[in-house]
Amino acid sequence: MRLHHLEVTAFGPFGGTVSVDFDHLSGAGLFLLSGPTGAGKTSILDAVCFALYGDVPGDRSTARRLRSDQAAPTTTPRVELEATLSGRRFRLVRSPAWERPKKRGTGTTTQQASVTVSERVDGAWVPLTSRLDEAGHLVSRLVGMNLTQFTQVAMLPQGRFQAFLRSRSEDRHKLLQQLFRTGRFEDVERWLRDRRVALRRECEEAHQETADLVSRVSEAAGRPLPEGWDVRDLAGPAADGSLAAWTASLVRDARGALSSAGAAAAVASQAESVAREALDAGRTTAERQARLEAAAAEHARLLTVAGQHATDRDRV
């Protein structure tokens, strides 16, 4: 938020019209509002707060007499403020409720509070609203704070800083969070917390699966697990008695058994080749033996019928 120009009429101690050019004062980026007690420093701040929110901070808001007692009876109290809010330039014109003389007869009548909010667009002032509630919501949204938060942070009344410090931690947290817009950091914190929970759950599941696998390996290898073993020891150094050392010993034994099994497999393969050759030779011999036996049987049969064959030949 940046203030540009303030004009006050019949407001607070100012009976006439007073204007403040904040652009001229803040040319160096910073200005000081100073003066003796009763000079009107607080009244200028009250005018800024009233233009934004329609009220003043501190106990002065309970007085409900914002119109100057030094002003002429017919002068309308009025505060006009030009300010840049959220990168947009606005003009806010407010008048508090006041007792004005009746147009007819004697006595006074209550003139209700009014407001007009306009935005500068392409060099012209475009009215946005003249409703008190809409103006309040608009300013609160643009500034990022409501009246209570604004008076606690940007325009803290005298003697109220201690009350802010002693307020509940939740209230201060909420105010500072809205002021500095730390919601994105809480989103990151929430994401990291959820991510940590998810990774912890995945880690526990992986540990359980690893423990089951280690148990199956122990059963298959016939090697008991070390006492007091922990599945997390697999990620640590292979100290004596740890699960990592036990696993390393299983690997060494398995590699030794693999080497022995490879040598035995080579010997068995050689023996298989010799046996296969002997089998082929035996099959050849068996075939020849079978042929020999078949020829001998045929020869014996022929010898049996040789006499009859001779008789048949003589008869023919």
**What contacts 144, CB < 8 A, 6 or more positions away?**
86, 178, 179, 181
Q: Is the pLDDT of residue 266 over 80?
A: yes
State how far the Cα of 131 lies from the Cα of 299, in Å rounded to an integer.
Answer: 135
Query: Can you state the angle between helices 243-304 and 306-315, rounded to 10 degrees?
Result: 30
Domains and CATH numbers, the chain: 2-101+110-156 (3.40.50.300)
**pLDDT over 70, % of the chain:** 89
Three-class secondary structure of residue 125 per DSSP: strand
State how far the Cα of 134 lies from the Cα of 153, in Å rounded to an integer.
Answer: 23
State how far the Cα of 137 lies from the Cα of 146, in Å rounded to an integer.
Answer: 8
Give me Rg for the CA atoms of the chain: 53
pTM for the complete prediction? 0.52
* Structure-block tokens of residue 209: 């699966």
Which tens digit of pLDDT belongs to each residue from 49-101? Answer: 999 998 887 655 544 568 888 888 889 999 999 999 989 999 999 999 888 88
Name the CA dihedral angle for 279, 282, 283, 285, rounded to a multiple of 10 degrees: 160
State how far the Cα of 149 lies from the Cα of 19, in Å rounded to an integer.
Answer: 27
Residue type, 74: T
